[in-house]
Chain A
Amino acid sequence: MTDPAVSHGSALPRETPLAARHRALGASFTDFGGWSMPVRYTSDLAEHHAVRRAAGIFDISHMAELTVEGPGAGAFLDHALAGRLSTLPVGKAKYSLLLAESGGIIDDLIVYRLADERFFVVANAGNRTPVADALVARAAGFDVDVVDATDDWALIAVQGPAAREIVERTAGLGGFGRPLADLPYYAATDADFHGAAVLVARTGYTGEDGFELYIAADRAEELWDALTEAGEPSGLVPAGLAARDTLRLEAGMPLYGHELSLDILPVQAGLGRVVAIDKASFVGKGALESVVAADAPVLVGLTSEGRRAGRAGYAVLDADGATVGEVTSGALSPTLGHPIALAFVSPAHAAVGTELALDVRGTRIPATVTELPFYRRTK
């Protein structure tokens, strides 16, 4: 049998500060965004279910972090990114997009405002260089310093309904700027871990409550161990990229390189709300103001019955068997028990309830356009 995961790339991927922990846990590794990352420790499904039912701990230190600092930081980000960051309150985070002049997406980002003149920009691992290059180039004329701080930081996510109790009782982790119980979604607070500064953000990529903890790379193992120990009574398990992918897919969250790319405009991906089109100017604004082609494909959710999932690249067919779109991500949903997929389809076939089909390696599998997200946690 042939499995793409069995083949090995030639370029030597980087390791995160937690690589030794993953090896000790018996993880399988995969190359992702130039990094060697744990894809699973025991079972994708068990790790997925643990996050939905209890909690999972993820090493996502491959993510890129850049600091943007200076009196012109807010104005600079308003120019460089699609959203309005200058009015973001200190301690809050915002999901944003870095657009090309064409309006296509260079990357999707999370931006934290740490102080009036200091922001923290988190980008996808594989886009570290294009993001850093674009931000540095766009900083010309602004009183701001852009620094790629990726190598300084480790990033650990604790996600799941038990995440808060676990982070709260982690030994040595304290000094929260505000109690975690009061920390809203997409907000962050300072904390201390045995003298190391930690940024604790209520953000994630799983559709569950959870936190992402930024800490100096050389203190990451210590924090991983403390979180793991605190989480054991709650059922916390280490979770890999395989579970992270099925969790985000159920939550309807896009993945760069699948749902987002330089060839996709924000509105096609359902991200029009992220663009502050009323800003006086920002990179990409001109292209977004021109009329989008009426037949430009749009992102939809598709659900099927049975167990055979559409996968990235599979054709989406209409009732007559004509190709009307393409799957960008798909899996048998572990939580829902049926196949789900994200796909770009022509607008004429994008209404919720439209009956389509997936060409699953020659077999037509019926699929219905479904409202996103596929899964929403009960609060």
Chain B
Amino acid sequence: MTDLNSLKYTDEHEWIALEGDVATVGITDYAADKLGDVVYVDLPGVGSSVSAGDVCGEIESTKSVGELYAPLTGEVLEVNDDVVADPSLVNADAFAGWLIRLRVTPSDVDGLLDRAAYVALTGGEE
């Protein structure tokens, strides 16, 4: 069970778990619910660099296409091949179905939202 209060969030509906200088990134269950069944994810290549706020991937559902924004600047260390092969994992458990891992500057996460701020952003829906 993921402790949602230990995560950071963005207003683009991503969650970020920081361990040392490695940030694991996914989309929130709120975003997954709004998207509907995820059928395709396009993620950045391992070794590529991403910049905070830039589009670095896509998440398609049956209904719509969402863009994945890099929540932090850093290098892509790993992508979740399980989710690429079976995108429905994002709907099954958005906090387990992580998308990418980035090497980041740990202090950068201070600029992200905490749980309370994110829940307020989504109108109290969890």
Contacts and interface: CB of A to CB of B under 8 A. Distances in A.
A242 interface: yes
Interface string A303-324: 0000111010000000000000
B65 interface: yes
Interface string B38-77: 0110100000000000000011111111111100000000
Contact of A308 (B14, B40, B68): B40
Interface stretch (A11-19, A37-45, A98-106): A37-45
A1 B64 contact: no
A245 B14 CA distance: 28
A237 to B, nearest CB: 14
A182 interface: no
Contacts of B35: 3, 5
Interface in B60-97: 60-69, 88, 91
A6 B91 contact: no
Contacts of B37: 43-45
A44 B36 contact: yes
A4 B58 CA distance: 14
Q: Report whether over half of chain A's contact residues are helix, strand or loop; otherwise say mixed.
A: mixed
Interface centre among A5, A39, A48, A361 (most CB of B within 10 A): A5
A28 interface: yes
Contacts of A361: 58, 65
Contacts of B114: none
Interface string A4-39: 111000000000000000000000100000000001
Given A43-B91, A308-B40, A5 B34 contact: yes
A361 B67 CA distance: 11
Interface centre among B27, B63, B67, B88 (most CB of A within 10 A): B63
Interface centre among A2, A246, A331 (most CB of B within 10 A): A2
Contacts of A308: 40, 42, 60
Contacts of B36: 5, 39-40, 43-44, 242
What are the 7 A-B residue pairs with the smallest beta carbon separation, nearest first? A1-B66, A3-B66, A307-B40, A45-B37, A44-B62, A44-B36, A44-B37
A347 interface: no
Given A44-B37, A307-B39, A242 B13 contact: no
A1 B31 contact: yes
Contacts of A334: 62
Nearest to A4: B64
Nearest to B69: A1
Contacts of B13: 1, 3, 6
Contacts of A1: 12-14, 27, 31, 59, 66-69
A332 interface: yes
B33 interface: yes
Contacts of A245: 63
B64 A45 contact: no
Contacts of A2: 12, 66-67, 69
Given A1-B59, A45-B39, A361-B65, 20 more contacts: A1-B12, A1-B27, A1-B68, A2-B66, A3-B64, A5-B34, A5-B36, A5-B63, A6-B13, A6-B31, A28-B33, A28-B34, A43-B36, A43-B91, A242-B62, A242-B63, A309-B40, A309-B60, A331-B63, A332-B60
A36 B33 CA distance: 17
Contacts of A28: 33-34
Interface of B: 12-14, 27, 31, 33-37, 39-40, 42, 58-69, 88, 91
Interface of A: 1-6, 28, 39-40, 43-45, 48, 242, 245-246, 307-309, 311, 331-332, 334, 361
Contacts of A309: 40, 60
B34 A3 contact: yes
A114 B66 CA distance: 46
Contacts of B59: 1
Contacts of A242: 36, 62-63
A23 to B, nearest CB: 13
A40 B37 CA distance: 10
6 contacts: A5-B64, A44-B63, A307-B60, A332-B60, A332-B62, A361-B58
B22 to A, nearest CB: 21
B118 to A, nearest CB: 13
A244 to B, nearest CB: 11
A220 B34 CA distance: 27
Contacts of B42: 308
Nearest to B30: A6
Contacts of B40: 307-309, 332
A283 B98 CA distance: 57
Nearest to A333: B62
